[in-house]
Copies of this chain bind each other. A is one copy, B any other.
């Protein structure tokens, strides 16, 4: 019987993940979260303090979950080829972007924050987003000109790649209205990962040519 407490807390957290990631912080109401969890409205404050702290807890949960279930290295060792590791990272980002359950929470929260930043934003960027950007950056340096690569170029290429992935995390209503039958779902992650990896390797190839070509002259 001591489990009821933990259990209710978990139900609230799960419900909050769904609601916050779908509607964003401000459109979400504590009432809706509690109703979906079958819990009393006062319990959010009991377990989490207030709405903002619940939001923090949701972020932490989503980050831990996705880092564990859907890591950017895809299980590959550091010795795998840069191409393979890029494919793994793209694939992971796409699974995050296209999933609807727990796996998708993180990417959708990110889209929400990119539109409407909350006070939580700073720590989110520091703890969750920058490490992933650095991970991609490391792979890109290998694919470009090694450690000597101009950091500005790395940043540009990183944004090129993350942009291709993040646009797919935009809310389903927009995408399905725009794309109609051709909208994507989680099953398309493999195919899209192939496309984006190939497209990006092509792009990176040209960028590297420009760099090293310019350097040799």
Q: Give the B-binding residues of A (Cβ under 8 A).
A: 23-24, 26-27, 111-117, 121-122, 125-126, 129-130, 133, 151-153, 155-157, 159-160, 162-168, 170-171, 173-174, 177-179, 182, 192, 195-196, 198-207, 210
Question: What's the minimum C-beta distance from A81 to chain B, rounded to whole angstroms?
Answer: 17
Asked whether A171 lies within 8 Å of B24 as measured between CB atoms, the reply is no
A177→B155 CA distance, assembly (Å)? 14
Which among B122, B160, B174 is the interface contact of A113 at CB below 8 angstroms? B174
Q: Which residues of B contact A171 (CB under 8 A)?
A: 114-117
Residues of B within 8 A of A174 (CB): 113-114, 117, 121, 125
Report the minimal beta-carbon distance from A183 to chain B, rounded to whole angstroms.
10
CA A195 to CA B24, docked complex, whole Å: 32
Docked pose: A185 CA to B147 CA in angstroms: 26
Please state if B201 and A206 are interface contacts (CB–CB under 8 Å): yes
CB distance from A34 to the nearest CB of B (A): 15
Q: Which of A23, A112, A153, A177 has the most CB of B within 10 A?
A: A177
* Of B116, B196, B205, the contact of A160 (CB 8 Å cutoff): B196
Residue of A166, A167, A200 ringed by the most chain B CB atoms within 10 A: A167
Choose among B111, B125, B160, B205 the residue that contacts A178 (Cβ–Cβ < 8 A).
B125
Shortest Cβ distance from A60 into chain B, in angstroms? 18
